[in-house]
Structure 1
Amino acid sequence: MEGGNALAQFLPLILIFAIMYFLLIRPQQKKMKEHRAMVEALRKGDRVVTQGGMIGKVTRVQEGELEIEVAQGVKVRVVRHTIAEVRSKTEPAEG
């Protein structure tokens, strides 16, 4: 009977972990995957919002950073992963 009793003691712990996985961990992983894909798809001409709240147009794309024009003639370099949202995408170049 001790084997059944031990399982009954650990069952609530297992259920709590399963609920946490499906309600917290899995959605967060999905959100991170979507953000990574969005950041990798950035290209010149996209209008973006940074996590700091600056809105601008991507003027240059480099390995780990972007150059964003926030006003006419005012360009700022930001790390790619600080982009929070893409407001409008440019059409892909034909060729």
Structure 2
Amino acid sequence: MKVLLMLMLASFMTPALAAGNAEAGQQKAAACNACHGATGKASVTLYPNLAGQNADYLQHALQAYKKGERSGGQAEVMKAFVSGLSDEDMADLAAYYQGLKP
């Protein structure tokens, strides 16, 4: 019961992420396509598929890369790619990828 209460409280404390514009995200995804594929499906297993991924997860991941909170794998490469993205850009990209068929 304590765990459930803590999870409920944490959900209220988590900042809400802005809903993005998928059409704008498609326009902004050009640099992402090189690794994650034009349809959000990577042709190389080193890179994750983004098509159909939850938008909140993607936004949090992009923010974590930008802040340097993720490490290992391609984290340094991703940090360089997302360093110039605004919160709106991240929301748009997340909305775009969420809308693609997995």
TM-score range, shorter chain: under 0.3
Normalized per residue, which structure has more helix? Answer: 2
The structure having more radius of gyration, on CA atoms, is: 1
TM-score between the two structures when normalised by the length of structure 1 = 0.25
TM-score between the two structures when normalised by the length of structure 2 = 0.24
